[in-house]
Amino acid sequence: MAQVFDIAQTRDHGGTCLALRGVLAVDNATPALAAVRAAVAGLPAGALTVDLCGLQYCDAAGAAVLCEINRACYATQRRLCFTGATAKVQGLLSLLNMDLLARPVCLIHPPRPNIVLRLGAAGLQFAADTRALLFFVQDALMALGYSLLHPRAIRRRELLLYLDRVGVDAVPITMLINFLLGVTLAFLGAEQLRQFGADIYVADLVGIAMVQEIGPIMTGILLAGRSGAAFAAEIGTMKVAEEVDALVAMGFDPQRFLVMPKVLAALIAMPCLLLIASATGIIGGALVSMSFLGLTADAYFNETYKALSLWIIMQGMLKGVAFAVLAAGVGCMRGLQVSGGAESVGRSTTSAVVSGIFLIIIANALFTILFQYI
């Protein structure tokens, strides 16, 4: 049931007086606010006195209604005075800064930096990331050298665990994506080669592309998206929970203890994933060639065997190993760079995926140019 509230208006030579009576609480604050606004809007010029002696009860919602009266008078430069308040009402009003609440709030929007400042900030961030990457590579190489010289220092159980996550768990998605890429390449190549009666060379196209280029780069991107993000999130969560600091305090090297098992697992798993990726891509091309081009399985695989040389296979393997180091290393580096709370973990995970894919694309371009001159 709504509380009773009433406004009585009187006028004398000194101005207008509004007498508030009853209860001004959250139950009737909305209609009371409408009545107060209507009463203040229709007042003639002059000072305004609000008599609160008849106000039996007032809560925070009622105080907001009184602030609205003060705000309306401030906007019209009308002098306002509250009188007759009981001790409880006066105690509530003493907690409020009426003058400050009456002033309009000015929202200050920070200026958007221009393109020059944004490019400069991006350049500085890129330089900082490059510097951090170089220092991380230095520490990782030292830890790798120590692990190779002291094989017993390698955490074998963790290595097997990450091999399962990086390698075995990635086999289904690697097979599916590369199979579909092989099918797509075969369809695209068949459309062009059929015009020249060179359907058999679809096998060369699919085989060389999958082994030398598409297989390594797609597997590297999958590794960055799956394992790189997982490594960044795992180490980042440990960093937020101060577990990494605890390891350092106990004398453990985070590079050897946390990073090396992950990087070694990626290095071991990548060649196996590349073989699976290349094989499924070639099989996908074979299915298209046998189904739509009329080629036999023997003709297709014999042509693929003739097209692939040991050097082409080695190029794909070298790229894959480099992509594995980049994907796993960048994920661990971003995890170690986490500072703050859970939001920083999310940013680092996203940055690990983006940075890993970006570096893989750059490395692939450099490898392709390099192999053309060897």
Per DSSP, the residues of 286-347 read HHHIIIII---HHHHHHHHHHH--HHHHHHHHHHHHHHHHHHHHHHHHHHHT--SSHHHHHH
Q: What pLDDT does 366 receive?
A: 92
In total, the chain counts a number of residues equal to: 374
List Cβ neighbours of 337 (8 Å cut-off, separation of 6 or more): 132, 348
pLDDT at 322 over 60: yes
Q: What pLDDT does 14 receive?
A: 65
CATH 3.40.50.720 for the 5-102 domain, yes or no: no
Distances (CA, A) of 245 to 159, 240, 253, 254, 351: 22, 10, 10, 9, 22
CA 255/CA 232 separation, integer angstroms:
14
- 305, 279 contact by CB (below 8 A): no
Across 109-113, 204-208, 300-304, least confident range: 109-113
- 135, 255 contact by CB (below 8 A): no
Of 28, 93, 17, 84, nearest to 55 by C-alpha is 84
pLDDT at 61 over 70: yes
Tens digits of per-residue pLDDT, 256-285?
Answer: 888 888 988 999 999 999 999 999 999 999
Q: What is the mean pLDDT of residues 320-345?
A: 87
Q: What is the mean pLDDT of residues 198-227?
A: 90
Tens digits of per-residue pLDDT, 145-173?
Answer: 887 788 787 788 888 988 998 989 999 99
CA torsion angle 329 330 331 332 (round to 10): 50
Amino acid at 337: Q
Confidence of residue 182 (pLDDT cuts 50, 70, 90): very high
CA 145/CA 142 separation, integer angstroms:
5
pTM of the model: 0.68
Show me where the domains of the chain are located: 5-102, 136-372
